[in-house]
Amino acid sequence: MSKQKQIPKFKTEAEERAFWEKNDSNDFLNWKEAKLAAFPNLKPSTKTISLRLPEGLLDRIKIEANKRDMPYQSLIKVWLSEDVKESQKLG
């Protein structure tokens, strides 16, 4: 079996992303020795956006959120996430 290559140090995430897009991880890691990792307290980073919605639509979303006893912003995120997942399955 060939010797594993050394993973370089990266200055930015973009630099690391570009590296892994062009290189096979099998050349750098022995996946037979890999162990499952769990990060239960890791929260995904979020970004604040501004979204303009018609008032009537926002009112209907708020009504649906109240029925589910959740904030309307959370319901919008759930709906968007579900829609993207479904679109990815179909695409």
Within a domain: residue 84? yes
Closest CA to 77 of 56, 48, 37, 42: 48
Within a domain: residue 12? no
Domain count, the chain: 1
Give the per-residue pLDDT at 20. Answer: 96
Q: Which domain holds residue 74?
A: 55-90
Give the per-residue pLDDT at 40. Answer: 87
Within a domain: residue 27? no
- Residues of the chain where predicted confidence (pLDDT) is lower than 50: none
Would you say the pTM of this structure is higher than 0.75?
A: no
Within a domain: residue 82? yes
Within a domain: residue 81? yes
Give the per-residue pLDDT at 21. Answer: 96
Closest CA to 29 of 10, 1, 54, 55: 1
Give the per-residue pLDDT at 2. Answer: 61
